[in-house]
Amino acid sequence: MKKILLPLIAIALIWSCKEQKPVEPSIAESMKTYTIEQMMDNEAIGGGSFSPDNSKMLIHSNRSGIYNMYTVPTSGGEILPVTQSDSSSIISISYFPNDERMLFRMDGNGDEIWHIYLRDTDGNHKDLTPDEGKRASFYGWTDDKKGFFLTSNKRDERYTDLYEMDLETLTPKLLYQNNDGYFLGGLSEDKKYLPLIKPLNTNDADLYLYGMEDKSLIKINADQSANSPEDFSSDGKSFYYTTDDGGEFAKLMKYNIAEKTKETVMTRSWDIMGSYFTENGTYQVTYINEDAKNTIEVMNVASGENIDLPSFDGMDITNVGFSEDEKLMRFYAGGSHTPSNLHIYNLETKEQAKLTDVLNDDIQGQDMVNAEVIRYKSFDGLEIPAIYYLPHQASADTKVPAMVWVHGGPGGQSRQGFNSFLQYMVNHGYAVLAVNNRGSSGYGKTFYKMDDLNHGDKDLKDCVAGKDWLAQQPEIDAEKIGIIGGSYGGYMTMAALTFTPEEFNVGVNLFGVTNWIRTLRSIPPWWEAQKEALYLELGDPNSVDSVRLREISPLFHTDKVTKPLIVLQGAQDPRVLQVESDEIVAGVRKNGVPVEYVLFEDEGHGFRKKENQIKAYSEALKFLDTHLKGDKGIPIEDGGSMTKETDI
């Protein structure tokens, strides 16, 4: 069975400072400013399962306004719709191995109660995991392709068990009953071994190999460290995993099952995020988190040499997948300035083709901004990495306002990928600094642990230091800097307005935590396996830690907020409950501070529907134009030109 990504332990859900290179005048002067409708009409796509005959791929796209399934010919051609949902998002999983039936998943308007569905060749749909209120996840096809593995918490909503679904009867059979709160890795192809992960804290976890036949339990790691299962060798004799044992970053290890010995397979200067073998074991694919972007290595197992991947000017390959016969590779390529397109690559002929064109035809690619990775010093001298987006129209003579962008988590990472909302702000004349404050992943385990039991303090000071860095840039109006973030980033936004009320001019809170005691007590039941780990990082709300949790919760200190605020929230959010936003809005309004509240009844933790994204992000920009830029916004006709003078 191939690599399965584990759930993130998070409540959520991207060089040294150099002088900014001057923008060519022609770019700024000819640049167009786009409406939110134009910007959100960039298409987002994902997936890429090959049909049994390799003639097409199954993907999902939001081109209809919400995610639905589509097929695209591998030879190029028209993308055809498969489903027509107008409410809940449909995410493609896979074609069946030997016919063109399909699997997909769907939840209820963002409630994260995912079910697995079958679509037959006549277009009929069947819920294969119909237990109400229970979650299910696809875990790969069996080696004989007569069934597939799935996990479900239908037996005990706290834990996920492993099942095998027979394709003839469509009846699940329990393979492993999870009574002890493990995360499950991918079962070996011979069904002899199941990797089990026991979280110790939000960084470290013990890793085990469970013997499915003799019920033995072999502990893989000797020291406390971060450990994650990756894949089994094709012959089933070796088990691959990543660990940061003995170093700052995760390396790839091989465990020889019979000999019970370990050896290092690969080390890099960054975290190795994952590694897996293709269907027949011809290639090994490895992902490295290199300074907030994916670097991918594909090794020919027989030769031990990496194959040459297609290259693109200014873009990176972000994800790859292979056909079952390993003759074709599909991949996504994009960058901070352009959304990722799906490509096909013939491994035998070396021919390649782009199958999609996801940038809206109304948008000129050169008008988007390519971000730069920068680093700045925080209050205590710690170097903080960040991703900087500077509007084309910004200059020392035409200073622009700026926003500090804070990612979700805790423990997330702002990465060098395309974000339509972020580019919308930048296109309308707002610089953005996406900070990776201490506690962010991707920069070593010491950096990752630096905010444990210290949230809303030093990590917040890192964000303030980011604001100070912005204020020193010649193109930035130092008197017009705000803060924005979602989930944990929304908490940081409220913490900034509450505990450092004079540092930022405005705040944009996207479904942020405001009462840690309530949030930690009401985490979804299916997070039971990592609950204790979260408590170790953030604090136990049922202990004396509740005193500190109350102190760092903005809800209990709303009287300190003096700057304008906008809050955006989904009513179906199972992670950050609607009441969090309801109460923070009510509390801040008592101060006579300008507060706007945008609530979506049909969204969860994040906004998936285009009509809601358009509403949310247009309201956020109107808010910034009024309360940060200091005007009512300048009407720009669709595709109209904007000069340096008209932006300020």
Q: 55-105, pLDDT tens digit by residue?
A: 999 999 999 999 999 999 999 999 999 999 998 999 999 999 999 999 999
Cβ atoms of 569 and 234 closer than 8 Å:
no
Give the pLDDT band of residue 25 (cuts 50, 70, 90).
Answer: low
Task: Choose among 364, 323, 318: nearest CA to 341.
Answer: 318
pLDDT of 15 higher than 50:
no
DSSP code, position 611: H
Average of per-residue pLDDT across 28-52: 94
- Element of type H or E holding 485: strand 476-486
Is 619 inside a domain boundary? yes
Q: 196-223, pLDDT tens digit by residue?
A: 999 999 999 999 999 999 999 999 999 9
Task: Choose among 351, 318, 369: nearest CA to 76.
Answer: 351
Average of per-residue pLDDT across 413-438: 97
Average of per-residue pLDDT across 508-523: 96
Range of the domain at 395: 365-515+553-647
- CA angle 491–493–495, rounded 5-degree value: 65
Q: 443-461, pLDDT tens digit by residue?
A: 999 999 999 999 999 999 9
The confidence score (pLDDT) of residue 632 equals 46
Average of per-residue pLDDT across 420-440: 98
Is 137 inside a domain boundary? no
Is 481 inside a domain boundary? yes
Average of per-residue pLDDT across 478-486: 98
- Domain containing 467 — which CATH number? 3.40.50.1820
**How far is it, in rounded angstroms, from Cα 505 to Cα 483?**
8
**Cα-to-chain-centroid distance, residue 428:** 25
Is 584 inside a domain boundary? yes
Greatest alpha-carbon span in the chain: 74
Give the pLDDT band of residue 20 (cuts 50, 70, 90).
Answer: very low
Q: 94-152, pLDDT tens digit by residue?
A: 999 999 999 999 999 999 999 999 999 999 999 999 999 999 999 999 999 999 999 99
Average of per-residue pLDDT across 494-510: 98
**How far is it, in rounded angstroms, from Cα 443 to Cα 74?**
38
Computed over every residue of the chain, the mean pLDDT equals 92
The confidence score (pLDDT) of residue 442 equals 97
Average of per-residue pLDDT across 17-36: 68
**How far is it, in rounded angstroms, from Cα 328 to Cα 330?**
7
Average of per-residue pLDDT across 245-251: 98
Q: 593-603, pLDDT tens digit by residue?
A: 999 999 999 99
Proportion of the chain above pLDDT 70, given as a percent: 93
pLDDT of 464 higher than 90:
yes
Q: 171-201, pLDDT tens digit by residue?
A: 999 999 999 999 999 999 999 999 999 999 9
Cβ atoms of 175 and 162 closer than 8 Å:
yes
- Quick one: tokens of 483? 């803060």
How many domains is the chain built from? 1
Which of 291-300, 540-549, 612-621, 627-636 is predicted least confidently? Answer: 627-636
Side chain identity at residue 49, one-letter code: S
Average of per-residue pLDDT across 332-343: 96
3-state secondary structure 113-171: CCEEEEECCCCCEEECCCCCCCCEEEEEECCCCCEEEEEECCCCCCCCEEEEEECCCCC
Is 491 inside a domain boundary? yes
Give the pLDDT band of residue 641 (cuts 50, 70, 90).
Answer: very low
**How far is it, in rounded angstroms, from Cα 147 to Cα 125?**
18
Cβ atoms of 204 and 226 closer than 8 Å:
yes
Q: Which residues lie closer than 8 Å to 424 by C-beta, 6 or more apart? A: 34, 36, 39, 40, 617, 621
Side chain identity at residue 444, one-letter code: G
Residue 239 three-state SS: strand
**How far is it, in rounded angstroms, from Cα 571 to Cα 525?**
18
Average of per-residue pLDDT across 296-300: 98
Is 326 inside a domain boundary? no
